[in-house]
């Protein structure tokens, strides 16, 4: 059978390996496995959320309220925007998809950093759009501007990942706002802020304000997720905040009931437990220092990170082999081979998980 031609060169997204694989392949108990490969919250989910979900068990037969008003009201109060400035997606991934489907096509292109979140390119290829990347792997806005000027007529969407997965680099909010104001009104600038609460904690200058974006720009959207600091990766829920003119168009692409009852409840309740989120972020940067120390004492190059992960770049040793050896011992890290890097991306874990990683990694590197 013939399929759409632009799918021919498309590779599937390579997700972090699951715990189940390590259990079945290496016979390690599930609760012994340390999974630091997908930037999930190592402390799990807030107890407030878990309690609320228990009460949902007699609602499973009902479709969700498709207006999502409880979650939208809570988000709106949280960020001081209107409920009509918000769209909810099955992960912020789905909103990335909506943005591409609303703007990109065979005749135009998207613009991204050299090494960034793989889904931008994957969704662009779904619609046959071109992908233009900066030479710089991290976000270099002067290069973004140059490429935009050269190709302005055909760039439909620009993605800024602030901070950037998988490298951890992070633009200042002021730079981002200035950049958006220099981009033409027909190009949508997507601010993917999946880790922005981590960045803001480390350096307030990095904190992007969705309200500011919403108020000041007709050509930008802010994307947030519950998958990282809120500990709800398995619930698949995220949101976009922008002017109504953008939200209304994206809304046309959303299927009814795209979010489950459980996910809506979980996300709404998660917004009330700010302490859980804050404690997780605090642990993250305390433990990040230990990883930096470990890298220094072992002569490993690392990139300063504003996220909940750190990238270790190897020189002589082979990162894929290291990842495999760790996997056999029940530690799942992210091999960055698919990004063309001899490197590992490590999600910062709990102190105990990190102890284990240091112990095993030290043995392997000896």
Interacting residues toward ligand PLP by CB under 6 A: 91-93, 117, 161, 165, 192, 194, 225, 227-228, 233, 238
Nearer to ligand PLP, 122 or 361 (CB): 122
Would residue 209 be called left, alpha or beta, if left means φ above 0 and alpha means ψ between -120 and 50 degrees? beta
Q: Which long-range contacts (CB under 8 A, 24 or more apart) does 127-131 make?
A: 127/6, 127/100, 127/101, 128/4, 128/5, 128/6, 129/100, 129/104, 129/105, 129/156, 130/154
> CB of residue 61 vs ligand PLP: minimum separation in angstroms?
26
How far CA 319 is from CA of 118, 149, 255, 265, 325, in Å, comes to 20, 38, 41, 40, 10
Torsion on CA atoms 109, 113, 116, 119, rounded to nearest 10 = -10
Looking at beta carbons only, is 169 or 209 nearer to ligand PLP? 169
Quote the least distance from Cβ 8 to ligand PLP, whole Å.
Answer: 26
- Do residues 287 and 354 touch, judged by C-beta distance below 8 A? yes
The residue at minimum Cβ distance from ligand PLP is 91
The residue among 291, 287, 338 whose CA lies nearest residue 311 is: 291
Nearer to ligand PLP, 92 or 283 (CB): 92
- Residue 224 or 330 having the CB closest to ligand PLP: 224
The nearer residue to ligand PLP, 117 or 217, going by C-beta atoms, is 117
- Least distance (Å) from ligand PLP to the CB of residue 194? 4
CB of 92 to ligand PLP, least distance (A): 4
What does the block give as tokens for 339? 């990004």
Cα separation of 84 and 148, whole Å? 30
Secondary structure of residue 64 in the 3-state scheme: coil
Q: Cβ–Cβ contacts within 10 Å for residue 140, how many?
A: 16
Q: From the CB of 359, what's the least distance to ligand PLP, in Å?
A: 28
Q: Minimum distance between the CB of residue 119 and ligand PLP, rounded to whole angstroms?
A: 7
Closest separation in Å from C-beta 153 to ligand PLP:
28
187/225 with CB nearer ligand PLP: 225
How far is residue 88 from each of residues 12, 46, 68, 256, measured CA to CA in Å?
24, 21, 8, 11
- Pick between residue 93 and residue 121 the one whose CB is nearest to ligand PLP: 93
């Amino acid at each position: 059978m013939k399929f759409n031609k632009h799918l021919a060169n498309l590779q599937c997204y390579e997700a972090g390996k699951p715990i189940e694989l390590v259990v079945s392949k290496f016979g390690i108990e599930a609760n012994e496995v340390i999974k630091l490969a997908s930037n999930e919250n190592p402390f799990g989910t807030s107890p407030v959320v878990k309690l609320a979900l228990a009460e949902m068990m007699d609602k499973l037969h009902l479709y969700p309220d498709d207006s999502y008003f409880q979650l939208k009201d809570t988000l709106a109060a949280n960020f001081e925007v209107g409920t009509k400035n918000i769209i909810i997606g099955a992960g912020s991934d789905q909103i990335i998809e909506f943005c591409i489907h609303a703007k990109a096509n065979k005749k135009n292109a998207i613009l991204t950093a050299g090494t960034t979140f793989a889904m931008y390119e994957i969704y662009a290829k779904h619609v046959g759009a071109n992908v233009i990347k900066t030479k710089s792997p991290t976000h270099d806005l002067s290069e973004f501007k140059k490429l935009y000027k050269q190709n302005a007529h055909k760039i439909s969407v620009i993605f800024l990942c602030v901070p950037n997965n998988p490298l951890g680099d992070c633009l200042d909010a002021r730079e981002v706002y200035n950049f958006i104001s220099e981009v033409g009104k027909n190009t949508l600038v997507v601010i993917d802020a999946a880790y922005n609460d981590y960045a803001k904690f480390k350096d307030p200058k990095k904190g992007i304000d969705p309200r500011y974006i919403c108020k000041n720009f007709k050509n930008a959207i802010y994307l947030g997720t519950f998958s990282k600091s809120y500990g709800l990766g398995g619930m698949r829920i995220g949101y976009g905040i922008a002017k109504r003119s953008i939200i209304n168009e994206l809304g046309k692409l959303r299927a009814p009931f795209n979010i489950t009852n459980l996910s809506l409840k979980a996300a709404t309740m998660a917004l009330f437990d700010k302490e859980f989120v804050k404690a997780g972020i605090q642990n993250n940067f305390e433990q990040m220092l230990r990883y930096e120390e470990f890298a220094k004492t072992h002569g490993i190059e690392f990139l300063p990170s504003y996220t909940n992960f750190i990238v270790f770049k190897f020189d002589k040793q082979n990162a894929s082999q290291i990842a495999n050896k760790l996997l056999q011992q029940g530690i799942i890290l992210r091999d960055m081979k698919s990004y063309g890097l001899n490197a590992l991306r490590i999600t910062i874990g709990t102190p105990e998980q990190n102890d284990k990683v240091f112990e095993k990694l030290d043995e392997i590197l000896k």
